[in-house]
Amino acid sequence: MKDLQTAEATEGVVTETSQPDSKGTGEGSAAVKVAPLKLGPLELTTPVLQAPIAGFTDLVFRRLVRELGGCGLMYTEMVSAGGWIKGTISPERLFGVVDEPKPLGVQLWDREPEMVEEAARRLVDLGISIVDLNFGCPKKRIMGKQGAGATLLRDPATIARMVEATVRGAGEVPVTAKIRLGPHPDQITACDVARAAESAGAVAITVHGRTAKDGYGVPVNHECIREVVDSVSIPVIANGDVSCAESAVKTLQNTGAAGVMVARRCLSAPWVFREITAALRGEPIPEPPQLPEQREQLLRHHGQLVELHGDPFGTVLMRKFAARYLGGIRGARAFRSEITVAKDAADFRRIVDTLFPLEADEEPTVSGDDLEEDCCTE
C-alpha cells in the first residue's frame, strides 16, 4: 500500500502539517503538501487539474482560469473522436488550442480504437500536451446509444485496446484515462480497469469516486479510490466533490491520490484552483474575490465571449456561465433569473448594473450544482 506520507515524487510527495482554514482566510496551512505531479514526460507545477466540462471549459473560460492561477492542467470540452474523424461534427471545442499556452489537454470519447487513434494523431499535430480518454460518462445516450463512456467499464479488455490505440496515435504525447468506480454499485470494476489502462500504456488514471448508476446523488467513495491507488503504479487523480481547499486536502488524505481534479465547483468559483494549490503548498489560502471583483470578472468574461463570437451569440453563451456566479449568495436569485434570459450585450449589462449584488448577506456556500462534469453533449 502506498503511504500518504511517503509517496514517490512522481505521484506527489505528501507530508502532514496543520489543517487548512476552511474559510480561506490564510490563518491555517494545509494538512498535506504535494510535490509537482508528473504525467509521463509532462511535469505539472501543481497537482490540481481542471476537468473537461461539456459546454463550459471553452477557450474564454480557460483564459479566466489561467489568469486567476493555481491550475496545473486545463482541458478543453470533451470531443467525440468518431464525430470529428467522420466529419459529422465540427471540432469547435478545439478552437484556439494551437496558439493557447500549454500544458493543455483534450479528452476524447468513443468505443472504436481506430477512431481514438486517428484523433490522437490529429491532436499531436495541434500541439496538445496530453490526450485523455473518457470511460466515465454516465449519460444514457452515451452509454446506451453509443456504447461508450461508463458502459466500457464492464469491459477492461476493450478499454485496454482503446488505450493502446490512443498511445499509438499520440506517439510521445502522454495518454491518460478518466473512469468511474464501475457501471453499478454491485459492479465495481475500477481496479481492473485501471490495471488494464496502465498495462496498455496510460501514464495516469483519474477516478471519479461514484459509479455510473450513482450519478451525483451519493457521497464520493474515497475508500474505493484508495483501492485503485493501491492497485497500480501510475499516478491516480481523485475527482468528485472537490469544492475547496479543505475538501481537496481531505480527498488526498483519504485516498492517497497524487492529485485532484476539480469540476463543477470551478464554474462558480474559478479561483478555487489557487486556493487549493496554496493549501497544498502550505501557504496562506487567498481570500476569494469580493463581489465587486466578481462583477468585473463577469463583465470581462462576457466581453471576451462577445468579442470572439459576436452578439447576441456571445451573450447567449454567457448566460449559462453567469447563472453560476454568486453561488450561495443570498439576494442573487433575481439576478440569476434575469441573466439567463438576457437577449444581447446591452440587456446583459443592464441586468448586471441593476441586479448584481455588491454586498453579501451571508458567507458564500458551495452551490448544489447539478452539472455532470464528465459528459459530452454531441
Give one DSSP letter per residue of 131-161, joined into a string. EEEEE----HIIIIIS--GGGGGG-HHHHHH
The CA-CA-CA angle for residues 333, 338, 295, to 5°, reads 75
State residue 293's pLDDT score.
Answer: 94
* 134 strand-pairing partners: 178
The burial class, CB within 10 Å (0-12 / 13-18 / 19+), for 265 is: buried
The whole-angstrom separation of Cα 63 and Cα 40 is: 25
State residue 150's pLDDT score.
Answer: 86
Contact 166, 118 (CB under 8 A): no
Domains delineated in the chain: 9-280 (3.20.20.70), 291-355 (1.10.1200)
State residue 361's pLDDT score.
Answer: 59
Single pTM value for the model: 0.88
Upstream peptide bond of 289 is cis (omega within 30 degrees of 0) = no
Contact 149, 135 (CB under 8 A): yes
Nearest to 135 by CA among 119, 157, 120: 157
C-alpha distance from residue 126 to each of 82, 88, 153, 245, 332 (Å)? 17, 20, 29, 34, 41
Of the residues 137, 224, 266, 376, only one is catalytic, namely 137
Q: What does R_g of the chain's alpha carbons equal in angstroms?
A: 20
Give one DSSP letter per residue of 204-221, joined into a string. -EEEESS-TTTTTSS---
State residue 358's pLDDT score.
Answer: 85
- Ranges under pLDDT 70 in the chain: 1-33, 141, 144-145, 328, 360-378
Instruction: Decide if 137 is catalytic.
Output: yes
